[in-house]
Amino acid sequence: MKRLKGVVKQPEGFEDFPRGLVSLPGERLEGVKFLYMGDVSGRTHISLKDSVVGMVCDASGSMELELLGDNRLRRMITVAEGSKLKLSFVSRGGGAVEDLVYLKEGAELIYDGRFRVRSGVFTASVRVVHEGKESSSRIDLRGVVRGKVKILPTGELLPGSVGSRTSLNGFVVVFGRGEVEAVPELLVGEQGAAASHSFRKLRLTREQRFYLSSRGLGENNIEKLYEGFILGG
């Protein structure tokens, strides 16, 4: 970790984040609190555990996050004209991921959020604002849940974003007493833009569990299969 030079003034919405520290790409960070302000390009991978992180940046390329324990992550990202960005996270704990992404003309965003919540509460909130024309975004949020999850995706197409398109998608498998609250929102202010959303929640019925158990697949094994399928291992 290193300190930022000069005076760092928190933007609106980040006043309560500690300032003056910046993470280095590829680091595994635990129990840290910092606000990063700058640019991100190329491929960036960061592993966080029990941390509080704010990011305000222009970005392109890909940004991958591994979240363990209880984290609080808030990002405000701008994707420049003609640039492409892939944002992805895998969370195996609680806390919250809050993302606000602005897309300029011709910008493209692919957002892939995956989570495993055994207990506690996890919130995934992502808002994509299409400011320029011919921009595109796809948001995918998928998870396996025994605790509580809130999924809050928003696609906003501003006036003038002609030819832009956004798609919000969710798939959650629920076990035990797990609870899911999903509130997708589409705000379309441009007739020449396109928006869509879909969400699916799967909870096995008693009959399905009995059928699978009679063939040697108990609930724990089924849960592990879905976890491997969604989280990739």
pLDDT of residue 14: 80
Residues 224 and 142 in one domain: no
What is the spatial distance between Cα 113 and Cα 130, in angstroms, rounded to a whole number? 20
Sheet architecture: strand order including 136-145: 28-30, 43-49, 61-68, 84-91, 108-117, 136-145, 165-174, 194-202
Residues 211 and 156 in one domain: no
Confidence at residue 5, expressed as pLDDT on a 0 to 100 scale:
43
Strand-pair partners of 196: 167
Residues of the domain holding 46:
2-202
What's residue 197's pLDDT?
A: 95
Same domain, 72 and 130: yes
Indicate if 132 and 165 belong to the same structural domain: yes
120 and 29 in a common domain: yes
For residues 172 and 218, state if they share a domain. no
One domain for residues 18 and 125:
yes
Residues of the chain with pLDDT under 70: 1-10, 18-26, 233
User: Is 219 in the same domain as 194?
Assistant: no
106 and 118 assigned to the same domain: yes
Same domain as 233, residue 187: no
CA distance 63 to 73: 13
Predicted TM-score of the model (pTM): 0.90
Same domain? 175 vs 229: no
Same domain, 215 and 175: no
Count: domains in the chain? 2
**pLDDT score at 111:** 98
User: By the 8 A CB rule, do 85 and 77 touch?
Assistant: yes
Provide the pLDDT for residue 34: 77
